[in-house]
Structure 1
């Protein structure tokens, strides 16, 4: 079931007695859980009819006892079952005796006054287990799968809509490029920018560049972008800002070398006719990272990129062996790239 389908059912007050939320995307798990709870329980009685049990600390029996208890001043009880590791092949850190036979019995005939939500932060469940089969048969299932760029953009657009603003396609892509794949951070940044542009405002790429809390790797992306366009002052400005934040020159050098290597790999694969989607899969990169690398690669020849990787390796060696001051070595590397581009 998709989030959209679940939202539609909840709005029509069509509730399931059982929900299974599983996957590694924490934000979707938390968002979906909150959405179900808010739809089912009145704010005034939520404190009486909402409970949560961590299966690494409490037995499933105690959670089911709660689910079978009549709600207080409301129509439903909501019982959240966190970390149901018995749905997987893993074992808990602490030994807790769970009566899975009783759980199987409950799943086949759940009480109509309780909504039981299983929140399983695991990539995979053990499909061979009876409890997993029963839960998938009788409950509504939401998989919090790893986000591709299209799904990330949908969530970003949804967050903007919820905040009563509009975000352009270019701004959404820019945000994902600079912030990375952490969905919770993406939504947080959208909400921050929404406050800045105001109700019915528009979030443009310039808004993103001005307000976003940049990750280290996104700063390196931008540094390489400035270098590729011969903006050495802008590249050094980012470099100095990162050094002021106590980022190690050796680490920055390694990230620069990594980005140059990615640009070279994308350039080589592009000449072989690979699509950006296929390149992303082969290189285990986010599709937008490939798109940026392809764009940056147009400023360099393959020969130049190979030479830069050799220079980066030499700079790394000089830093680690103390042959030259680390910061000076980093500065010289950046300026040499621009100087070489100007000569060519």
Structure 2
């Protein structure tokens, strides 16, 4: 993928691209790079065209691709939702002349870049047109990245910005910013500017500069709790209140994290691996890894007591039984007293 991006930035273009998968960032970023590097700004109105293939027949789009560019070297044709490459049933009644596409792929226009993109987990490899397109096109498989792939992503994104990132900083970046590629990219690009003089991102820079989401702050809060660091946990909680986060929302995310710890502990007892747990719980494997580490610090009796306390605090908040801030403070103090 990064090789294809480097080629695009170097203005070495393939005549046809195929971008598919369930990671929207990779799809959007590849298309944006093609727009930025294949056309000048004053050419966009004339030489950029976009078609939704759930609304437009493929032959209409290909006619555009075979049209000479106006005041420029090339045309860029973006074709979204090529459902005929999958086993899915079309949502619309648009009929596509696939034979026209087969003929085009044998001899693509030398002055056009045609880009097929779709949020499909997989294509129908049994279809002749799918086989032909995958053989002809430059392919970007926009799949969700695993933990090791995310670490590679962070390192390579930093390298694209001309900086190196320490391994400890990579680990901390994932823990603080999460696994969302839009957020990770934003944070890496921001820190790369800060590190421009040294050309190196270290752990201290990440700790200082990465913006925490509510969920990541809650994870840090829970992490302090499980290690019985009540003063630091309260400090994070009060910082969240200063950021105008509602106590009921904070409690909901704390509850979600402890529910995850409980679920991971149960699945581990049944012999599930981390990837199996991620599939069962429909979350990223990295979150399972973090929760598994926390689960080791609680026995079953403690987790049952914690879930009961959280349920009671939730009830008290929703019925107005006690001050909301005080309810979370009481929960933290009770939790710190366990063991």
Say which SS state the counterpart of residue 171 (structure 1) adopts: helix
Superposed CA deviations along residues 12-69 of structure 1, whole A, max 9, x for unmatched, are 9764322111112122112323444566557786665433333355553442222111
Shift of 1:225: 1.2
The aligned residue for residue 315 of structure 2 is 317
In structure 1, the residue matched to 2:119 is 121
Partners of 2:135 and 2:260 in 1: CA distance: 44
Deviation per CA, 1:249-286: give whole Å up to 9, x if none: 33322321222232234345556665544444444332
Identify which of 230, 237, 243 aligns with 2:235: 237
CA 1:274–1:124 in structure 2 vs 1: closer, same or farther (change >3 Å)?
closer
Q: Give the match's secondary structure for 1:122.
A: coil
Does 2:309 correspond to 1:303?
no
Residue in structure 2 matched with residue 263 of structure 1 by the alignment? 261
TM-score computed with the length of structure 1 as normaliser = 0.83
Tell me if the contact between 1:16 and 1:139 (Cα under 8 Å) persists in the aligned partners: yes
Cα distance in 1 between the residues matched to 2:10 and 2:184: 29
1:82 to 1:202, Cα distance in 2 relative to 1, 3 A: same
- Corresponding position: 1:191 with 2:174: no
Aligned to 2:248: 250
Partner of 1:222: 220
Task: Using the TM superposition, name which of 228-237 and 142-151 deviates more.
Answer: 228-237
- Paired residue secondary structure (1:230): coil
Residues 118 and 171 of structure 1: CA distance in aligned 2, closer, same or farther (over 3 Å) = same
For the Cα contact (< 8 Å) 2:5–2:30, is it kept in 1?
no
Instruction: Report the Cα distance in structure 2 between the residues aligned to 1:85 and 1:281, rounded to whole angstroms.
Output: 26
Q: Could you tell me how far 1:222 is from its partner in structure 2?
A: 0.5
SS of aligned partner of 1:300: coil
User: Are the aligned partners of 2:9 and 2:33 in contact in 1 as well (CA < 8 Å)?
Assistant: no
CA contact (8 A) 2:54 2:90 kept: no
Q: What is the 5 A alignment of 1:54-93?
A: 54-56=52-54, 58-72=56-70, 75-88=73-86, 89=88, 91=90
- Separation (CA, whole Å) in 2 of partners of 1:68 and 1:285: 44
Q: SS where residue 294 of structure 1 aligns?
A: helix
Match of 1:167? 165
Partner of 1:208: 206
Contact 1:24 1:122 in 2 (8 A): yes
| CA spacing shift, 1:37–1:325, aligned 2, 3 Å | closer
Alignment partner for residue 146 of structure 2, among 141, 145, 148? 148
The structure-2 alpha-carbon separation of the partners of 1:195 and 1:148, relative to structure 1 and needing over 3 Å to count, comes to: same
* Displacement after TM superposition at 1:187 (Å): 0.7
What is the CA-CA distance between 1:191 and the residue it aligns to? 0.9
Count how many residue pairs are aligned between Structure 1 and Structure 2. 338
RMSD: 3.2
Q: 1:51 aligns with which of 49, 52, 73?
A: 49
- Using the alignment, how far apart are the partners of 1:262 and 1:189 within structure 2? 26
Q: Between 149-158 and 45-54, report the one with greater CA deviation.
A: 45-54
What does residue 158 of structure 1 align with?
Answer: 156
Q: Which moved more, 1:119-128 or 1:62-71?
A: 119-128
Give the unaligned 5+ runs of structure 2: none
**Paired residue for 2:109?**
111
Does the 8 A contact of 1:173 with 1:288 survive in 2?
A: no
1:294 lines up with 2:292 in the alignment: yes
**CA displacement, residues 228-257 of structure 1 (integer Å, 9 cap, x when unaligned):** 233323222322333344434333223212
Q: Distance in 2 between matches of 1:180 and 1:330?
A: 24
Q: Distance in 1 between matches of 2:73 and 2:249?
A: 57
User: How far apart are 1:113 and its partner, in Å?
Assistant: 2.9
